[in-house]
């Protein structure tokens, strides 16, 4: 308990330094908890905005490049080791919880262009997650994904596309039980 409190106090100090460095590119609410190991990188014209009562746990990384934006509503939890990587926009609605090791990418390489893949550019499209959504551990959310309000996304799911409100999305895995003799 005391360790968690110290972690969040150090995280708050880190955010004050980020705010001095990034200025208007960073807007967050004081009544939030950011782990000291949280990493935020805002390049170029990127922006990070968060509401109140945000909890960002250990090892979370947010990378914003170009004109990318990450916008978090109120009462959001990002569990350990999540990655939000934005060149366009990642928006997460209020009261959403995100499990451990979830990755979000609102872009991918433009594989149709010829040349060295590292320099062929990117295709981007926003990720929009509604309110009161639960995203299980290990999910990967790709560009051009919209998740409606009140959805549950099962652990390990890879998403791209439109998920209607009030949906449950899962990857069904069939396990064959065999006895080893």
The residues carrying an active-site annotation are: 109
Which H or E element spans position 23? Answer: none
Q: Are 108 and 125 in contact (CB under 8 A)?
A: no
**Gyration radius of the chain over CA positions:** 18
Give the number of other CB atoms < 10 A from CB of residue 152: 15
**Whole-number Å distance between alpha carbons of 123 and 6:** 41
Please return the burial class of 171, using the count of CB atoms within 10 Å of its CB with bins 0-12, 13-18 and 19+: exposed
DSSP string, 75-120: S-EE-TT-EEEESSEEEE-TT-EE-TT-EEESEEE-TTS-S-GGGS
């Amino acid at each position: 308990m005391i360790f968690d409190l110290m972690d969040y106090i150090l995280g708050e100090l880190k955010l004050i330094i980020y705010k001095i460095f990034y200025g208007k590119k960073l807007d967050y609410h004081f009544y939030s908890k950011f782990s000291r190991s949280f990493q935020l990188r805002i390049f170029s014209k990127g922006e990070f905005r968060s509401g109140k009562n945000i909890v960002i746990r250990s090892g979370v990384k947010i990378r914003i490049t170009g004109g990318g934006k990450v916008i978090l509503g109120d009462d959001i939890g990002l569990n350990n080791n999540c990655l939000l990587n934005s060149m366009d926009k990642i928006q997460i609605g209020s009261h959403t919880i995100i499990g451990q090791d979830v990755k979000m990418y609102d872009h991918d390489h433009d594989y149709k262009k010829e040349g060295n893949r590292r320099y062929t550019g990117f295709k981007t499209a926003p990720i929009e997650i509604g309110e009161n959504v639960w995203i299980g551990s290990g999910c990967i959310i790709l560009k051009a994904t919209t998740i409606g309000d009140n959805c549950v996304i099962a652990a390990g799911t890879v998403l791209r596309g439109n998920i209607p409100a009030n949906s449950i999305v899962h990857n069904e895995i069939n396990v064959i039980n065999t006895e080893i003799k």
